[in-house]
């Protein structure tokens, strides 16, 4: 690999992640990707075969044992809504739900998620219908640069699943594991409270 090779070329050329290749060739990644056959891993690094359910779609994958869940989601399934900023469990940008609980995907190995269910920000909306949290985030101008937003959404989703009508302190505690470098914390808290109110009324 020469210096001019981009990461995307590298991924495509080595046959990793069908997702990235599909994205490049303009294929709908939710089409052919879904029931992907196990990926043959052309590598000397130790690998494992795992099954993951991501946003209710089952995948059988070959992964290097050292890959994090965030790497697999982003680089190999093309689900780049999950962001990686610190890559050390210190910012929350990579928050996804694992078996319904908020976790840092950067700090959890993909092999450990074998057989488990993952929800990423891509799985929040039902078709065109946004999650009430997404709507509230838009209404309340939650995202500024937006880099932390998918993590904030997932942390908030986990909170509302557990505590449907949280108090403001509970919301702040629920989002305490998510940094926003644009410092739009108050708007995020407002938005979560507003979404919780709506969900309560509509009995979501």
Partner 1 sequence: MKSFVNVNPKSLDEAVAVLDRARAQGKKAALAGGGSDLLGMLKDHLVQPDLVVNLKSISGLEGVHREGERVRIGALTTLDEIARHPLLVERYAALAQAAGLAASPQIRNVGTLGGNVNQRPWCHYFRQGFPCFKNGGKMCYAVAGENQFHALFGGGPAFIVHPSDTAPALVALEAEFKVMGPSGAKIIPAEKYFILPREDVLRENVLGENEILAEVILPAAPSGLRSTYLKIRDRQAWDHAIVSIGAALEWEGGRCRKARLVLGGVAPIPWRVPNAERLLEGKSLGEALARQVAEAALAGAQPLAKNGYKVPLAKATVRRAVLSLLPAA
Q: Given the rule CB under 6 A, which residues bind ligand FAD?
A: 89-90
Distance CA(170)–CA(119), nearest Å, equals 22
CB-wise, 86 or 130, nearer to ligand FAD? 86
Contact partner at residue 185 from ligand FAD, ligand FES, partner 1, none, CB < 5 to 8 Å by partner kind: none
Q: Which stretch binds ligand FES (CB under 6 A): 21-29, 116-124, 127-135, 137-145?
A: 137-145
143-172 positions binding ligand FES, by CB under 6 A: 143-149
Distance CA(168)–CA(85), nearest Å, equals 27
Task: Count the Cβ atoms, other than its own, within 10 Å of residue 194.
Answer: 17
Q: Which stretch binds partner 1 (CB under 8 A): 13-21, 28-36, 97-105, 130-138?
A: 97-105
Residue 34 burial by CB count (10 A; 0-12/13-18/19+): exposed, middle or buried?
exposed
Contact partner at residue 141 from ligand FAD, ligand FES, partner 1, none, CB < 5 to 8 Å by partner kind: none
Q: What is the CA radius of gyration of the chain?
A: 18
């Amino acid at each position: 690999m020469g210096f001019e090779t981009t990461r995307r070329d590298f991924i495509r050329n080595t046959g990793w992640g069908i997702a990235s290749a599909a994205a490049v060739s303009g294929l709908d990644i939710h089409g052919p990707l879904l029931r992907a056959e196990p990926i043959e891993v052309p590598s000397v690094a130790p690998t494992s075969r795992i099954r993951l359910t991501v946003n209710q779609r089952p995948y059988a994958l070959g992964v290097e044992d050292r890959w994090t869940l965030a790497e697999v989601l982003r680089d190999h399934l093309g689900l780049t809504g999950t962001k990686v900023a610190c890559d050390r469990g210190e910012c929350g940008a990579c928050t996804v739900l694992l078996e319904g609980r908020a976790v840092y995907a950067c700090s959890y190995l993909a092999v450990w998620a074998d057989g488990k269910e993952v929800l990423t920000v891509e799985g929040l909306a039902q078709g065109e219908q946004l999650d009430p949290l997404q709507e509230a985030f838009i209404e309340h101008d939650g995202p500024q640069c937006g880099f932390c937003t998918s993590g904030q959404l997932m942390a908030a989703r986990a909170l509302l699943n557990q505590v449907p009508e949280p108090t403001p302190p509970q919301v702040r505690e629920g989002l305490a594991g998510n940094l926003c470098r644009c410092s739009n914390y108050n708007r995020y808290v407002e938005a979560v409270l507003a979404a919780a109110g709506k969900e309560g009324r509509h009995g979501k």
